[in-house]
Amino acid sequence: LDLDVAAASTLLVDGVAAGSATWTGAGPGGHHREGELQFTTTSQPREMTLTIVGLPGPVQLNWPSREADH
């Protein structure tokens, strides 16, 4: 995967962009890449949506925060 994971990723927190991402892990290339994608938020989110572009199709993951359940 020759993809800059941080540049290809966006996170919506309660419908608002969370800002830029940082990637700590394997660099571009190779079939399997491991690492950690981090975003910083300033509030306690209720719902988050992560989108990664630059792959054969966009990848989108949606989930409620653990705090939203309490």
Does the model's pTM come out above 0.85? no
Question: What's the CA gap between 67 and 47, in Å, rounded?
Answer: 10
DSSP state of 5: H
pLDDT tens-digit profile of 39-49? 988 777 889 99
Query: pLDDT, tens digit, for every residue of 24-64?
Result: 999 888 778 899 999 988 777 889 999 999 988 889 999 88
d(C-alpha 27, C-alpha 48), whole Å: 26
Supply the pLDDT for residue 4: 92
Dihedral sign for Cα 14, 20, 21, 26, please.
positive
What confidence score (pLDDT) does residue 41 get?
80
Instruction: Please give the structure tokens belonging to residue 26.
Output: 């394997």
Q: In the numeric block, which tokens belong to residue 61? A: 């993951």
